[in-house]
Structure 1
């Protein structure tokens, strides 16, 4: 009930495009810092911002690459959300490729057994399923996710929680499983209507309660997947996840409410207009914050789509009175926002 109450308030807040962009960027930076910190990244939150801006920290090259790659993966998640298609297993293997190597190349699943050990003692804390079972388990997971997205038999927070648990439990890769599990959870929440304009992140709450996070994931009578973990009682993890989500939404509700009620904030109810736009249109608004006119290739690059698809979208948006042609006489089309939407990006 707390999650739903805060979600409703956040969705109804009159957030203009400039404030929204700032809140979204803050959330992405927080997610990048805390999700990589959980896996041992040593950069501070301030250093993460600097690293993304191009600053180098001698001796921390691996940490720099991790945060840059994770930020790229978050941006790719946004493009997947905007595409509004089923959550693809192959596409998510590309997300892992971004996380690990900074490239959108699908990563093959592990071909051998991996073991999760306690860092201090070397004690085995989890033995995931054998490599031969990974492909089937992952296919089943993505089938289940898309089925739940279609039927909504469970509340969205529980779908996201079970997705997170199962991905981490399968542990499909030798490395990067935690980061990609959290990214997949983020994607599921967005697609289920709980993205909340991209202005919150759960990763900080995991990082600040790390021992509880790991304890909640450690369920069943044995550390072996086949000796109890596969059929374990997941109540503890579901409770931890929902508590974390409630805390995150409460925090962002307070921050967003404070932002839109300050004297310097614009009080025009841009939120009502924004809700009439689809995810791709909202993302394209970001281009117009720095340019009065944009081109089809710029739309394609920004959304991560082909130039042909960008041109088709532009035609649809012209018909919907979202865009206008800057100069019909020119062979190369340039577009500007229609006056109805221009106020979203310029005072």
Structure 2
């Protein structure tokens, strides 16, 4: 019995020794240790433009690639920047008092670039814009930002109290002017041939620019070809085709249902819009709230668990007396901003928000607004300013785009000899982006066309 017990002890000790040796070898072996992989697959690292409000310019990236020693976004000491900004501000003020306005402007801009959130820089720059350039609206925005940074800044507070009423009156005057242009457009009979042509062309323009803002590389001619012939364009991805077809389906849905409906806009309506926007690209995600966290530049949208309650609050605001009593352009712009700020979908948030905005505008007699893709960075900049607390610049930007769209319709349906502002904005090929209105029967297709299944 003792002998069996002795052998059992030896066996157990041998097992323990063997296991210990294996653990030691495994720990020190460089070939058997498996590290966790925290990097996503390369395919999923190709983040779409729809996710980001800001991106590093391609020229900057090229320069960085050519110079390995350059560090993109290299940060300086914030105290050094602030001190340099204040020194630059002092010189700018001296030049302003000497009457050297142009030189002072460059120094004010440099000081603002060094310390964009410093209340003294913002306030003094605002005073310069107000008194030297008579730009009360931009000055008021600077005072607003100064008070956001320091609510007790006495000079900025006094300046804001003076300019706020003036700016509000100027904004209202601008909106009244747009109402007059809308009414002029509404007076044109539906049977007008020129109106029918410009409606068709504006439809193509809207889709071309809306998908182009998100990074779609189709030209206007190719976009029009896809919509008119349903033929595929050689050299372009399936997703780019499907983005165009999705926006086409969403616009047709809105025009057939929501525009002429007088009842409230519901969550289901927004989901139906998104379902069509993304239906050709990603049918699974189309019409569904996201189930994961996303990141939008410097803005982190709410988590997926909060989306339903936030969307319910958003729809309550959307149908509230307060919102419905606003001017339609202000109402539409705020609806766009609020929805894209919540960012309820994995993809297609920008397109859906712009469609919701245009639904509201069309319900008030405005044409669907075209936001030119050439102004995408300005568009994103104003969204970021809205994130920081001031939505008025974004509303003014939408008002600008509304006016240019109205001018397009009025120009195309009249015998005006002058060009409207938007018409002088060239596309990537250097041609006028609305030349096609005048030559509506020309063959605009390009590339090798094959049927889209």
One fold, TM greater than 0.5? yes
The equivalent of 2:179 in structure 1 is 4
Contact 2:290 2:346 in 1 (8 A): yes
Distance, in Å, in 2 between the alignment partners of 1:83 and 1:18 is: 27
The equivalent of 1:115 in structure 2 is 295
The equivalent of 1:32 in structure 2 is 207
Shift of 1:258: 3.8
Picking from 190, 194, 203, the partner of 2:365 is 194
Shift of 1:219: 2.5
The equivalent of 2:371 in structure 1 is 203
The equivalent of 2:425 in structure 1 is none
Contact 2:267 2:312 in 1 (8 A): yes
Distance, in Å, in 2 between the alignment partners of 1:153 and 1:242 is: 17
The CA deviation string for residues 104-145 of structure 1, in whole angstroms up to 9 with x for no partner, is 99622111210124xxxxxxx221112222111111222222
- The answer for unaligned runs of 5 or more in structure 1 is 118-124, 221-228, 260-347
Shift of 1:57: 2.1
1:136–1:73 CA distance, 2 compared to 1 (3 A): same
Picking from 121, 124, 128, the partner of 2:301 is 128
The equivalent of 2:334 in structure 1 is 162
The equivalent of 1:77 in structure 2 is 254
Picking from 88, 94, 106, the partner of 2:272 is 94
The CA deviation string for residues 251-277 of structure 1, in whole angstroms up to 9 with x for no partner, is 322222249xxxxxxxxxxxxxxxxxx
The equivalent of 2:345 in structure 1 is 173
1:7–1:128 CA distance, 2 compared to 1 (3 A): same
Distance, in Å, in 1 between the alignment partners of 2:194 and 2:264 is: 30
Contact 2:194 2:412 in 1 (8 A): no
Picking from 8, 16, 19, the partner of 2:191 is 16
The CA deviation string for residues 183-217 of structure 1, in whole angstroms up to 9 with x for no partner, is 000111122x1334xxx53233xx23211100000
Query: Whose relative contact order is higher, 1 or 2, with alpha carbons under 8 Å and at least 6 apart?
Result: 1
The CA deviation string for residues 12-69 of structure 1, in whole angstroms up to 9 with x for no partner, is 1234165443332212111111000000111101101111212212342211111011
1:252–1:104 CA distance, 2 compared to 1 (3 A): farther
The equivalent of 2:410 in structure 1 is 253
Shift of 1:180: 0.4
Distance, in Å, in 2 between the alignment partners of 1:83 and 1:105 is: 27
Residue 260 of structure 2 aligns to a residue whose secondary structure is helix
Distance, in Å, in 2 between the alignment partners of 1:5 and 1:155 is: 13
Distance, in Å, in 2 between the alignment partners of 1:203 and 1:177 is: 15
Structure 1 length as normaliser, TM-score?
0.63
Picking from 306, 315, 323, the partner of 1:142 is 315
Distance, in Å, in 1 between the alignment partners of 2:272 and 2:285 is: 5
Residue 56 of structure 1 aligns to a residue whose secondary structure is strand
Distance, in Å, in 1 between the alignment partners of 2:412 and 2:391 is: 32
Contact 2:278 2:286 in 1 (8 A): no
Q: Does 1:215 align with 2:378?
A: no
1:115–1:105 CA distance, 2 compared to 1 (3 A): closer
Alignment of 1:22-61 (within 5 A): 22-52=197-227, 53-60=229-236, 61=238
Structure 2 length as normaliser, TM-score?
0.49
1:19–1:251 CA distance, 2 compared to 1 (3 A): closer
Contact 1:112 1:131 in 2 (8 A): yes
The CA deviation string for residues 166-187 of structure 1, in whole angstroms up to 9 with x for no partner, is 0111111111000000000011
Shift of 1:90: 0.5
Paired residue total: 236
Contact 1:109 1:173 in 2 (8 A): yes
Distance, in Å, in 2 between the alignment partners of 1:203 and 1:248 is: 9
Contact 1:36 1:67 in 2 (8 A): yes
Distance, in Å, in 2 between the alignment partners of 1:208 and 1:2 is: 25
Q: Does 1:237 align with 2:394?
A: yes
